[in-house]
């Protein structure tokens, strides 16, 4: 399995730094991964939804630490590259670095970038 595309959507928030979409093997996309500024540095938060009891449950996540580290390293590398305005992967796998946007602009971008647009 390989990560064939990472799309980074930086946001202007205190702790939330970006939303990320990742494509695996050019055929499976995971949206709404978050880059979060924690007390000990940046980390990723996998997509989740709120349960009836108020807790959050991941809807997609790595099954082991090795895979989590592999995904997190790639995402954080792409996040830093986007902030610097340069691609960190081959051009086919890294779109142009987007500018920082508001949460509303990010929601619209994710809506426009949904699986309905995949060819």
Domain contains 53:
no
Q: At residue 110, does pLDDT exceed 80?
A: no
CATH number of the domain encompassing residue 5: 3.30.1120.40
Q: At residue 73, does pLDDT exceed 90?
A: yes
What secondary structure letter does DSSP report for 65? Answer: H
Quote the number of domains for the chain: 1
As to burial, measured by CB atoms within 10 angstroms (0-12 exposed, 13-18 middle, 19+ buried), residue 33 is buried
Domain contains 113:
no
Domain contains 29:
yes
Query: What pTM did the predictor assign?
Result: 0.71
Domain contains 4:
yes
Q: How many CB atoms lie within 10 A of CB 9?
A: 23
Give CA–CA dist 17/23, Å, rounded. Answer: 20
Three-class DSSP category at 75: helix
Q: At residue 78, does pLDDT exceed 70?
A: yes
What is the span of the domain harbouring residue 11? 1-47+58-90
Domain contains 110:
no
**What pLDDT digit, counting tens, does each position of 7-59 carry?**
999 998 899 999 999 999 999 999 999 999 999 999 999 999 999 999 999 99
Domain contains 9:
yes
């Amino acid at each position: 399995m390989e990560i064939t595309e990472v799309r980074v959507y930086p946001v202007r928030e205190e702790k939330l730094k970006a939303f990320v979409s990742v494509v695996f093997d050019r055929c499976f996309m995971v949206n709404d991964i978050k880059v979060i500024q924690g007390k000990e540095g940046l980390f990723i938060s996998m997509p989740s939804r709120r349960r009836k009891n108020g807790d959050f449950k991941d809807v997609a996540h790595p099954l082991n630490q090795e895979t989590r580290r592999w995904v997190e390293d790639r995402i954080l590398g792409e996040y830093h590259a986007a902030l610097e305005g340069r691609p960190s992967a081959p051009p086919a796998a890294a779109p142009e670095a987007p500018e920082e946007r508001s949460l509303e602009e990010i929601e619209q971008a994710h809506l426009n970038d949904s699986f309905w647009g995949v060819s």
